[in-house]
Amino acid sequence: MDRHPLGTLGETQAARLHARLRGRTFDQTHSSDLSRAARTAELTRPGQPLTLDARLRELNFGQFEGVTTDDAQRDPAYHDWQRDPWTLPAPGGGESLAQVGERLRDWADELLPGRVIAFTHGAAIRALLCDLFDWPARSVPGYVLPFNYQLAHTSLTTLTRTQGRWTLLTYNDHAHLEES
């Protein structure tokens, strides 16, 4: 299932994030149990306790897992799913984006108070934000997911929760990836 290890570029990006976060403290470090996210967490927060949680996984694309968008677009089942990927599960045992948002919200709602850093995946983050803030999921031509807002790898999206209410502080902050 987890066939996508972190590559050289990902390791470089994690090293830059590590440098950026140097001196910041976190009470908890969580990560998806998929290797790319877990390795990024290990490189960014070396020696820190790490909680792996399957709820932080990327969207399960079902029969389209590991398939290029071009190849998926040749399958009529892909087009059926793309009519409403927010509520329709991906064919072949996959998930809907609403399911992803709900599982990430369940994870977030269980967090203990304190500063938490979590390492997860792009569609998972965007599905959580749609779930938390009722953001619309709209079709984007040529892109498999209905989000018109992108995320850079290792970018920081910062949320705070006060009295049960979530606030988005930063989205897709990737200043550490800019060339110096």
Q: What is the mean pLDDT of the segment spanning 123-146? A: 78
Specify the pTM: 0.90
Q: What is the pLDDT of residue 116?
A: 96
Q: What is the mean pLDDT of the segment spanning 109-135? A: 92
Tell me the C-alpha distance between 48 and 175, whole Å.
Answer: 24
pLDDT over 70 for what percent of the chain? 91
Q: What is the pLDDT of residue 83?
A: 84
Going by pLDDT thresholds of 50, 70 and 90, the confidence category of residue 134 is: confident
Tell me the C-alpha distance between 43 and 136, whole Å.
Answer: 34
